[in-house]
A and B are shown apart, each in its own frame.
Chain A
C-alpha cells in the first residue's frame, strides 16, 4: 500500500474509527490518541489491510489499542494510589455527555458484564449488524446472535430490577463503563 493509498484509506474511514474510539473513551483528546495509534498500527501492518471493507478490520485494531490504553490507565491509577495513599481519586467518571437526567439505562448497563456491554453498544452506537460484529470479534454470527439475545435479556432484567414498576427512572450514581471496556 502506497502513501496515497493509505491517505485515501484514512480519508474514507477515520471518521468512523474516531467515533468507535470516542464511544469507548472519556474525551475527544483520548479518542484522538486511540485513533492515531490505530492508524499507526495500520500503517505498520499496511500489507495486512484488507482492500475490501477495511473499516471492520480497523475496528478490530482499535479494540486492541483501546485494551492497551485501558491497561495503561489502570497502571497510572495504581501508581497514583500508591503515591497518594490517603483519599485516592474516586475511580469513576461522568456518564456520557448528554445523558438525560434520570436515565436508568446507563447504570443498568454498568451493572452488566463487559462482554454484554460491548455487544449492546456495538449494536446500539456503532450500528453494526450481527454479521459485522462477528467480523470485529472474530466469532460466528450465530454466537453473536445468541450472546446478544442473552445480553438484551440481562439488560432488560437489570432495568426491571432497578425500576420494577417502570414508574420513573432513578439514576443511582456515576459509572465509568469505559474503564472496563
Chain B
C-alpha cells in the first residue's frame, strides 16, 4: 500500500530517466519542431472508434448522476431499525422497527459486518464510478475460489478466475493464461474483506442512518459512516489484499463509507474516495456457488 513505502520504491523513483533528462523547453527549436511535425498533417480530422481509455475519458462529461443518488438518499426519511440476532447467511428476514441511538447504529452495522465476514459463498456486482466514467463487474465467490468478470470499456470481458490456488486470466480476446497464486498475491476472501472494511470504518467512524431503501429488490437500511483519521488508519491496517477489492489503494483518501444492511447482513457498500466511488452489492449470500477453472489455450 502506498502508506507503507518499501525501500525499493525510493530506489526505483531515483532511476527515473527524466530526473536527468528534461523535455524540450516550450518555444525552443526542438519543441517547435515536434509541434510542427504534428500539425503538418492537413488531412481532415478523423473520429475513430474510441478505445477503452478514450471512452472512459468521454464519460467524464456525464458526471453528476452519482451525487444525485446520494443526495436523494440522504433526503429520505430516517426510519431506525434494529436487526434481530441472525442465524447466519441466507434468507432470514428478521427486521423490527425500533428507535436506535447513535452507538446502536454503529453496533448494528458492526454486527452485520461480522456476520457478512463469515459468509463463504456469495455473488456480487461491483461498480466503479469516477469522473464521468462507470465500470462494472460481477463476481462469484466460494471459499478461496472466485471469478470476477469485468466488462471492458469498448467491448469484451476480462475474467479473472482463482481456483485451487491458480489464477486464470481470460482476456477480451478469449485467450486464457494461468499462473500459480503465491501467498503474497492472494486476495482476502471477498466477504471477509467486505466485513473487515465495514468493521474498520464503523469502529472509528461515526454512523448515521440515512433511510430505508431497496437494494436488489429487498428492503435495506442505509447507514453513512463518516470517516476520521482513526478510521482511515484502521482501514489502512487491513492491507491491500482486502482493500483492493474496493479500489481503496489509498485509504487515506477515503471520505465516507455507506453501508446498506438488510436481514442482518451487508447488502451494499459504497466507498467514496478522492475522484472515485465504488459500489459493491452482495446477493445470493450463502447460496451454492461453484467456481470452475476455464480451459487453457
Contacts and interface: CB of A to CB of B under 8 A. Distances in A.
Interface of A: 1, 3, 6-7, 10-11, 14-15, 18-19, 22-23, 28, 31-32, 35-36, 38-40, 42-48, 50, 52-54, 56-57, 60, 95-100, 103-106, 108-109, 120-121, 124-125, 129-131, 134-146, 148-150, 152-157, 159
B80 interface: no
Contact of A98 (B20, B56, B240): B20
B158 A52 contact: no
Contacts of A3: 39
Report which residue of B38, B130, B278 has the largest number of chain A beta carbons within 10 angstroms of its beta carbon: B38
Contacts of A35: 23, 34
A98 B276 contact: no
B209 interface: no
Interface stretch (B47-55, B200-208, B222-230): B47-55
Given A42-B38, A140-B128, A130 B8 contact: no
B52 A139 contact: yes
Nearest to B241: A149
Contacts of A124: 9, 12-13, 16
Contact of B41 (A40, A120, A121): A40
Contacts of B54: 48, 50, 57, 60
Contacts of B137: 140, 142
Interface string B229-269: 00000000000110111111110000000000000000000
Given A105-B15, A140-B126, A142-B246, 6 more contacts: A10-B35, A124-B9, A129-B249, A140-B137, A140-B247, A142-B126
14 contacts: A48-B48, A52-B60, A53-B60, A98-B14, A98-B15, A100-B11, A105-B8, A105-B11, A106-B15, A121-B12, A138-B56, A139-B150, A142-B137, A143-B150
Interface stretch (B68-76, B100-108, B110-118, B180-188): B180-188
Contacts of A154: 182, 184-185
Q: Is the interface of B mostly helix, strand, loop or mixed?
A: mixed
Contact of B150 (A22, A97, A140, A150): A140
What are the 3 A-B residue pairs with the smallest beta carbon separation, nearest first?
A138-B52, A39-B38, A153-B184
B269 to A, nearest CB: 13
A156 B24 contact: no
Nearest to B49: A48
Contact of B51 (A31, A138, A141): A138
A14 B28 CA distance: 13
Interface in B126-177: 126, 128, 130-133, 135, 137, 150, 152-154, 158, 160
Contacts of B99: none
Given A32-B24, A142-B128, A142-B137, A45 B11 contact: no
Given A53-B57, A60-B54, A156-B8, A47 B275 contact: no
A10 to B, nearest CB: 5
Contacts of A23: 16-18
A8 to B, nearest CB: 11
B267 to A, nearest CB: 19
Given A98-B15, A156-B8, A47 B182 contact: no
Contacts of A142: 126, 128, 137, 244-247, 278
A48 B17 contact: no
B30 interface: yes
A47 B54 CA distance: 12
A24 to B, nearest CB: 9
Contacts of A138: 51-53, 55-56, 152-154
A177 B195 CA distance: 40
A159 B38 CA distance: 42
Nearest to A158: B8
B245 to A, nearest CB: 7
Contacts of B48: 45, 48
A109 B241 CA distance: 22
Given A138-B153, A142-B245, A6 B39 contact: yes
A19 B187 contact: no
